[in-house]
Amino acid sequence: MQVRWIPGDGYYANAYLRGNVLVDAGVTPMQVANYRDQIEWIVLTHCHFDHIAHAHEIAHMCDAQLCMHEDDAEGLGADERTLAMIFGERAPPLKIARTLRDGDEVEGLRVIHTPGHTPGGICLWDADERNLFSGDTVFSDGGVGRTDFPGGSLADLKASLERLSALDVKGLYPGHGPAVESDGALHIKAALRMLAFC
């Protein structure tokens, strides 16, 4: 299934459209308006403002359901958990229709709980296409999400990357920076090697 990359502006996160699922919602409603009739689900990879900034507006525009891991959903209203204050904003009012757990599926995408950047961070795995939507767990340059924000844990992030390194990832679609459509597993292994020195 085709993946459409919708690049984030500045510090705001990328979004991806795969079938009727939009992954993350830091992009503006105007950037996804052409797909409003297609989007039925919006899966938020974690609770940070740069990934959720426009979730409320996009969900309303598309009549879509918002999903997030239960460990991050509980902190959505808190500016300090969402880091909204870093962006000079307040946490947006979000109503999560479905809280997710490890192993759940949303339209063929399997939820992999990957704490470390946040307690409820997730990746989404398309086993058929071998594509991983990695949020801020791992980036395509071998980088990883910061662990010095509230709820972050370097030990948890290392464990999450160990788990991801067992997957035969082809396409890697991260929350920031460019996506790669081949050899995604190499980027995960590079991140794991880098964290060995931390």
User: What does the pLDDT look like over 33-57, one tens digit per residue?
Assistant: 999 999 999 999 999 999 999 999 9
Range in 61-65, 81-85, 105-109 the model is least confident about = 81-85
Task: Inform me whether the pLDDT recorded for 100 exceeds 90.
Answer: yes
Structural domains counted in the chain = 1
Looking at residue 77, its pLDDT comes to: 78
- Dihedral angle computed from the Cα positions of residues 184, 36, 60 and 85, in that order, rounded to the nearest 10 degrees: 40
pLDDT attached to residue 128: 97
Report in angstroms the alpha-carbon separations of 100 from 13, 188, 197: 20, 23, 32
What pLDDT digit, counting tens, does each position of 123-180 carry? 999 999 999 999 999 999 899 999 999 999 999 999 999 999 999 999 999 999 999 9
Q: What is the CATH number of the domain that holds 16?
A: 3.60.15.10
- Output the pTM of the full model: 0.97
Q: What is the residue range of 81's domain? A: 3-195
Closest to 176 measured CA to CA, from 150, 148, 145, 132 = 145
Residue with tokens 């759940």: 104
pLDDT confidence of 92, banded at 50, 70, 90?
confident
Q: What is the pLDDT of residue 75?
A: 78
